[in-house]
Structure 1
């Protein structure tokens, strides 16, 4: 299998075996690797990748890199998959294909303080290519790309496409701020208008504020779950 080719400003770093690119990317970032380093692991049953950022804004604003990378992934898979394949995102990082869980985004940063500019921020994701245990139909809320008509989607091409779409959105974000990204992301979010629970707060998911924080309304009012609450957490 050929290695992915990345656009200018991004550098690929493959890892092998069972090594987690998200963990490796954090270690490399802590040691001072270049921003734009993309660590990835292509396995038979799953694809994992992570990208290193060097924010120039406080964490509360830098957390926009999570929805930015997620929108980049949706755009990439949407361009490569058959047109009938629906790709949506969950506020907590879940990747859904045709309504079932197929992958997950994660985020980590050097600092958890919303007001501080972190030395680094890493966004990682993984997506299931094929099932290794359950047969299709046994777990209808969980799926894999190859079960959803995406057997012709090359993992190499998916990483390449994701990196290009993510870089495009990064350039747009730097020029135009959150508004265009927010509009795109809101159109892809699952669960808006439904009852949810995050961080111990339950209620109706109203959407997100201008910094992508989750707005939940219940009998006591409208509550904000900032996106920084997702640091180091899988949902």
Structure 2
């Protein structure tokens, strides 16, 4: 407890300077992940833990996080802070980290159409058509791992969306697949699924049909398929979240 002798102008002046510096460091950390402070640092401090102990965030290559921050800023505008995003443990093998913002399907499709030719099966609002998603970012930015491959997962061919659900495999939603497309195009100038089709088994239309995405010739197509349908060229993309 602070004694009366401590409640002097010098104490308040020192407190004000410390508070101002904390705010400055927080803003720095938001703009430049890895520099300054984060809310996790402050949370650790009030819990009497070392705020600079190695964390899960520190285990992930910082340049990947910064790259995603720059991608969203340049592609959609606005300021992004991923310093507090929970990063799932990376599986063994070649996996790619996707940072998922709370963007509507209409926003994502419109951005794709702005950057390259696109077609979709319906002119109706995609967000009203797709009524179920295995995951979303409405409660905050999410991070997921997906296979770092151009074509949808070979090991998930000949499996319908119903099969995928029965096996309990997590797979990309339509929103995640569109973000994956945008990021892949941003990095390479190429497109996902030029030979096969991604079955977005993590999403459903209100009538139970499943979205699917393919780059067919010179355009990206978004259409639908029945949940019990399967083929060798129709494949989901596994997700670790």
Shorter-chain TM-score category?
A: under 0.3
Task: Tell me the TM-score normalized by structure 1.
Answer: 0.24
Q: Looking at secondary structure, tell me which structure has more strand per residue.
A: 1
Query: Whose Rg is larger?
Result: 2
Using structure 2 for the length normalisation, give the TM-score: 0.24
The structure whose residues are more often helix, as a share, is 2
